[in-house]
Chains A and B, each alone.
Chain A
Amino acid sequence: MSPLSGGSDTRGEVNIFRAIAGAVRKGGSLVLAWALAAQAPAQSTDGGIMRPVADMFQPLSRPAEMIHESAVLVLMITAAIFVVVTAMLVFVVWKFRRKGPEDDREEPPQIYGSTHIELAWTVIPILITFVLILVTSRTIGEIQNAKMPEDALKIRLVGHQWWWEVHYPDLGIITANEIHVPVSTRTGKPRPTEIILESADVIHSFWVPQLAGKTDLVPNKRNRTWIEPFATGTFFGNCAEYCGTQHANMLIRVIVEEPADFDKWAANMQRAPGVPAEGLAAQGHRDFYGNSCVSCHRVDGTVAEGVFGPDLTKLMTRQTIGAGVAPLTPENLRAWVRDPQSLKTGCLMPDMKLLDSEVDSITAYLLTLK
């Protein structure tokens, strides 16, 4: 038997086990860090509790909870399999390591296989798979085939590069990038919200993890999803299908409110803001029409009927600008009006090359849209 060349010795083996021990220590502290990351969310004035950490393991809506149930079960099963198989591997690596030159004298027993053992480790995975198949089928049906009550709130989302067009067809509301829904209740009559998903250009995906799994917005296809939140607050979501340059900044917020607050919001949204009579804002209103803003934007109650860009009727009721690229403050609004490319490079609103005075006035006008 030819002796092995290339430096096989005990040095290599000791290093391996030290490395493994180190990894276990590392793993423990990481789990702790994760637990800390899911901290208590911050408060805010509008939108209630801000929930920026969209942890799918903190579901706050019925479809997300259904997913969570199966997810936890699957995690437990796979964790158990992981522990068992890793233990097998560690055991084998430790127990059957070559202990020294005396082990080279003869080869170990040459076992070719064992039908019994093969059967055992085939049957057990089949059984586990069977359980998983049952769980999966049930949850798929529960979520996809859920019946919405007749009077469920309907929202229609149309995806654009890189913003969300929002319609409430029954309420006559058109807005962008944020949706408000009433909170549901576990006791009493459920108040789910049905969301129709369409796209005006490429494929996008609606993903607000704490409220539901993701569903794509596909052009020439009408998809449907639903949420039923049980807690109020502002839920954060992202577009989850790569859609071009600013996919990263196509964020969506879902603001869940008590039914009374929701009704107040809806009523306000249905009321068109007036046209400012005097001052810089009035000048801005004129400049808004003097430049080609109306080609792309709509302001209810005026002749601006553009549909290429977001509806601006109730711009100031929103928390962010540019579909989440920055908070909606007067400074950021001004920066956007001056040159949107500075905040969201590559977005489809070009630099309109406005004069400074126009930037000031149009910003003043937009600040009245609430």
Chain B
Amino acid sequence: MNPDTFDPNFKIPAPERIGDERGSLTRLVQEMVFTVDHKRLGLMYIGSGLLFFVIAGIMAAMIRIQLAVPRNDFLEPDVFNRLFTMHGTAMVFLVGMPIIFGFANYLVPLMIGARDMAFPRLNAFGFWVFFFSGLLLYFSYLGAPGLYAAGSAPDVGWFAYSPLTAKAFSRGHSTDYWTLSLLMGGIGSLVTSINIIVTTLCLRCKGMILGRMPLFVWLFLVVAFLVIIAIPPLSACQIMLILDRYFGAKFFDTQAGGSAVLWQHFFWIFGHPEVYILILPGFAIASEVIPVFSRKPIFGYPVMVAASVMIAFISLGVWAHHMFSVGMTSIGNTFFAISTLLVAIPTGIKIFNWIGTMYGGKLRFELPMLFCIGFLFQFLIAGLTGVMLAIAPFDWQLTDSYFVVAHFHYVLIGGLLFTIFAGIYYWYPKALGKMPDFRLGLCHFILFTVGFHITFFPQHIAGFLGMPRRIYTYDTGRGWDAWNLISTIGVIFQAAGILFFVVNLIYSYIWGKKAGDDPWDAWSLEWSTTSPPPSYNFETIPEVRSRRPLWDLKHPDDPDWKYE
């Protein structure tokens, strides 16, 4: 194209809303099934994740109702045990993983100035494998009873310790649904992560050296590497479990000299990096939202990158802090206590960097920023309770109690879910072309935050008072009654908050104010194209000179590349 006739204000018309130009439901479904567009797939990932979130959330509500009062008979013990297993499994594999991959899918190509992911068909394959794995898991309620009515949904806990999962102790097929669903889902995660790695390393636009990528992209690169290293141990666990249950293998058969603890080692070699895989995307979102709504660049970009890489490395060496009570030697316990404490350092640094970004800024309390501030406060608490759990002797009291339940819900809800909400509100205008409604969002924020703390803070105390996890009921007089009742009451507020959230998503899509290309006055490349972007993302592939290409365009007298 001749630069002299090039008009920078010219924009190729893009469809006003997704689906707007199509017209019929059949065509919409057909498109969804055949699409390889990273944006469509991203939205499908997030949509499916939110759907499973509501289902798994209802399960949690049922659990809390059962535990509201001692010796409650709302649920039979077996039903309860299936509910907490399915709740945990679904939240990790069918809500957490797909939503983070959805964000990566939608945003990584846009942020690096690419037209799509490196392998679009592989991308679609990854989505459908995940989606079917979710259907398979829930089908267990119907399919597992089999000929002898032995079984239903899995009831072995989301980490399925052996030998509880052996054929002898888990009759029927419920455990097999768990195993196969996770094996399938793992393939989806691996495939998507390879896609992210290749896209990030090979498709960046001109000028975007690794040191100029948005932190969002950096963090997802780190997440993708963690996935390809950490998911194979889970797949190995599933293969070994299938061999044990159906081919007489002796991996975890304690009667044949097998080791029950070996499952724990292999599972947690996956499981611990998995929780970092889940939370690092939350950091990714926070690292995009907080600077924009503080009107300043992220404080200490190189250190943030280094800290993220360090977190990923160290997280591969802390897994046995989930096993402090299993009877390891004092040397083993000490090693893992030390490594766990070490990982707290780069994590803590990041909190300081985010606060440092806000310092001296002009903070705008839009919905994404509100949720990020909530994230900072709650993740601080989560991190500190994590430090308590790293102290192995303290952990000997706290592990497998409600204290741990409180800790990880502070991380996953208080940390991850809040940043997911922030991300959804932040990129909603980009993806759907409409602004999310502020008042509905504020109701969502207040109700959900209040409900979240009411539900989960008392659980720390119940843990201190000796309440173990995964119990379907308890006696009165143990000091747990009040805390459980309070905890259940919080569910009402959380449910109300989610209701406002869902209403907001729908309301804003239909009646929301039209969003322009760049409603938040942000600086990364996705804001340089239309809202929603055309299927080819950019009219011309951009070229960048700094970490904030749009800042450079908006401030030609004071561009970033002069200072980086």
A15 touches B482 (CB 8 A): no
B349 touches A122 (CB 8 A): yes
Task: Contacts A55-B466, A203-B260, A244-B164 given; indicate if A137 touches B442 (C-beta within 8 A).
Answer: no
Instruction: List, in ascending order, chain B residues with CB within 8 A of A45's CB.
Output: none
B545 at interface, CB cutoff 8 A: no
- A54 to B: closest C-beta gap in Å: 3
- B329 to A: closest C-beta gap in Å: 8
Binds B, one of A92-100, A268-276, A300-308, A359-367: A92-100
B521 touches A4 (CB 8 A): yes
B401 touches A203 (CB 8 A): no
Report the bound CA distance from A92 to B352 in whole Å. Answer: 12
- A353 to B: closest C-beta gap in Å: 21
Instruction: List, in ascending order, chain B residues with CB within 8 A of A187's CB.
Output: none
B469 at interface, CB cutoff 8 A: yes
- A137 to B: closest C-beta gap in Å: 5
Report the bound CA distance from A30 to B489 in whole Å. Answer: 14
Instruction: List, in ascending order, chain A residues with CB within 8 A of B558's CB.
Output: 110
Closest 6 CB pairs of A and B: A213-B396, A54-B466, A248-B471, A7-B438, A220-B254, A113-B300
Instruction: List, in ascending order, chain B residues with CB within 8 A of A243's CB.
Output: 164
Task: Contacts A112-B563, A202-B163, A220-B259 given; indicate if A96 touches B358 (C-beta within 8 A).
Answer: yes
Best-buried of B349, B396, B521 by chain A (most CB within 10 Å): B396
* Interface set, chain B 163-213, CB cutoff 8 A to A: 163-164, 168-169
A89 touches B355 (CB 8 A): yes
Q: Can you list 20 A-B contacts (CB < 8 A)?
A: A4-B519, A6-B366, A6-B438, A7-B437, A19-B450, A34-B461, A67-B397, A70-B393, A75-B388, A86-B377, A92-B359, A96-B362, A103-B362, A110-B563, A203-B326, A207-B466, A214-B396, A218-B254, A248-B472, A346-B78
Task: Contacts A7-B439, A54-B466, A247-B471 given; indicate if A220 touches B260 (C-beta within 8 A).
Answer: yes
How does the 8 Å CB contact mask read for A241-265 relative to B, with 1 for contact and 0 for none? Answer: 1111111110000000000000000
Instruction: List, in ascending order, chain B residues with CB within 8 A of A7's CB.
Output: 437-439
Instruction: List, in ascending order, chain A residues with CB within 8 A of B384's CB.
Output: 78, 81-82
Task: Contacts A8-B366, A38-B479, A121-B349 given; indicate if A112 touches B471 (C-beta within 8 A).
Answer: no
B362 touches A107 (CB 8 A): yes
Instruction: List, in ascending order, chain A residues with CB within 8 A of B345's CB.
Output: 122, 125-126, 129
Residue of B342, B461, B466 touching A129 (CB-CB under 8 A):
B342
How does the 8 Å CB contact mask read for A33-71 relative to B, with 1 for contact and 0 for none? Answer: 110011000000000000011111100000010110011
B457 touches A113 (CB 8 A): no
Best-buried of A122, A140, A221 by chain B (most CB within 10 Å): A140
Considering the complex, give the chain B residue whose CB is closest to the CB of A109.
B360
B479 touches A111 (CB 8 A): no
B360 touches A37 (CB 8 A): no
A214 touches B163 (CB 8 A): no
Chain A contact-residue range equals: 35 or more
Binds A, one of B44-52, B145-153, B333-341: B333-341
- A220 to B: closest C-beta gap in Å: 4
* Interface set, chain B 84-133, CB cutoff 8 A to A: none
A248 touches B473 (CB 8 A): yes
Instruction: List, in ascending order, chain A residues with CB within 8 A of B74's CB.
Output: none
Residue of B334, B377, B381 touching A137 (CB-CB under 8 A):
B334
Task: Contacts A218-B326, A346-B77 given; indicate if A213 touches B377 (C-beta within 8 A).
Answer: no
- Residues on B close to A: CB < 8 A? 76-78, 81, 155-157, 161, 163-164, 168-169, 254-255, 257-261, 294-297, 299-303, 325-327, 329-330, 333-334, 337-338, 341-342, 344-345, 348-349, 351-353, 355-356, 358-367, 370, 373, 376-377, 380-381, 384-385, 387-388, 390-397, 399-401, 429, 435-439, 442, 446, 449-450, 453-454, 457-458, 461, 464-475, 477-479, 482, 513, 515-516, 518-521, 554-555, 558, 560, 563-564
Task: Contacts A220-B259, A345-B77 given; indicate if A112 touches B366 (C-beta within 8 A).
Answer: no
B400 touches A205 (CB 8 A): yes
- B404 to A: closest C-beta gap in Å: 11
A236 at interface, CB cutoff 8 A: yes
Report the bound CA distance from A28 to B465 in whole Å. Answer: 19
Task: Contacts A2-B519, A5-B515, A201-B163 given; indicate if A74 touches B438 (C-beta within 8 A).
Answer: no
A55 touches B479 (CB 8 A): yes
Report the bound CA distance from A121 to B351 in whole Å. Answer: 10
Instruction: List, in ascending order, chain A residues with CB within 8 A of B399's CB.
Output: 214, 240
A4 touches B393 (CB 8 A): no
B397 touches A71 (CB 8 A): yes
* Interface set, chain A 1-37, CB cutoff 8 A to B: 1-2, 4-8, 12-13, 15-16, 19, 23, 26-27, 30, 33-34, 37
Residue of B342, B401, B458, B464 touching A57 (CB-CB under 8 A):
B464
B376 touches A89 (CB 8 A): yes
Report the bound CA distance from A248 to B261 in whole Å. Answer: 22
Report the bound CA distance from A54 to B435 in whole Å. Answer: 52
Report the bound CA distance from A141 to B458 in whole Å. Answer: 32
- B169 to A: closest C-beta gap in Å: 6
B163 touches A129 (CB 8 A): no
A136 touches B377 (CB 8 A): no
Instruction: List, in ascending order, chain B residues with CB within 8 A of A240's CB.
Output: 325, 399-401, 468
Instruction: List, in ascending order, chain A residues with CB within 8 A of B560's CB.
Output: 110
Considering the complex, give the chain B residue whose CB is closest to the CB of A81.
B384
- Residues on A close to B: CB < 8 A? 1-2, 4-8, 12-13, 15-16, 19, 23, 26-27, 30, 33-34, 37-38, 52-57, 64, 66-67, 70-71, 74-75, 78, 81-82, 85-86, 88-89, 92-93, 96-98, 103-104, 107-114, 117-118, 121-122, 125-126, 129, 132-133, 135-137, 139-141, 143-145, 161, 197, 201-203, 205, 207, 209, 212-216, 218-221, 223-224, 236-249, 324, 345-346
Instruction: List, in ascending order, chain A residues with CB within 8 A of B475's CB.
Output: 52, 324
Best-buried of A23, A55, A216 by chain B (most CB within 10 Å): A216
B360 touches A111 (CB 8 A): yes
Report the bound CA distance from A12 to B297 in whole Å. Answer: 24
B161 touches A203 (CB 8 A): yes
Instruction: List, in ascending order, chain B residues with CB within 8 A of A202's CB.
Output: 161, 163-164, 169, 260
Residue of B255, B295, B519 touching A6 (CB-CB under 8 A):
B519
Residue of B330, B344, B356 touching A144 (CB-CB under 8 A):
B330
A218 touches B349 (CB 8 A): no
- B67 to A: closest C-beta gap in Å: 10
A96 touches B466 (CB 8 A): no
Instruction: List, in ascending order, chain B residues with CB within 8 A of A70's CB.
Output: 391, 393-394
Considering the complex, give the chain A residue whose CB is closest to the CB of B446.
A19
Residue of B325, B438, B457, B465 touching A205 (CB-CB under 8 A):
B325
- A110 to B: closest C-beta gap in Å: 6
Considering the complex, give the chain B residue whose CB is closest to the CB of A144.
B330
Instruction: List, in ascending order, chain B residues with CB within 8 A of A203's CB.
Output: 161, 163-164, 260, 326
Considering the complex, give the chain B residue whose CB is closest to the CB of A92.
B358
A15 touches B446 (CB 8 A): yes
Task: Contacts A2-B518, A89-B376, A113-B299 given; indicate if A136 touches B393 (C-beta within 8 A).
Answer: yes
- A91 to B: closest C-beta gap in Å: 9
A96 touches B397 (CB 8 A): no
Instruction: List, in ascending order, chain B residues with CB within 8 A of A220's CB.
Output: 254-255, 257-260
- A294 to B: closest C-beta gap in Å: 24
Please give 18 more A-B residue pairs, beta carbons under 8 A apart, in addition to A71-B388, A96-B359, A132-B387: A5-B516, A7-B439, A57-B464, A78-B388, A82-B384, A85-B351, A93-B358, A96-B361, A112-B564, A118-B303, A133-B341, A203-B260, A214-B325, A214-B399, A219-B254, A224-B327, A241-B325, A242-B164
- B428 to A: closest C-beta gap in Å: 10
Best-buried of A12, A74, A245 by chain B (most CB within 10 Å): A12
Report the bound CA distance from A121 to B473 in whole Å. Answer: 45
Instruction: List, in ascending order, chain A residues with CB within 8 A of B464's CB.
Output: 55-57
- B285 to A: closest C-beta gap in Å: 18
Instruction: List, in ascending order, chain A residues with CB within 8 A of B563's CB.
Output: 110, 112
Instruction: List, in ascending order, chain B residues with CB within 8 A of A103's CB.
Output: 362
Considering the complex, give the chain A residue whose CB is closest to the CB of B323.
A216
Instruction: List, in ascending order, chain A residues with CB within 8 A of B325's CB.
Output: 205, 213-216, 240-241
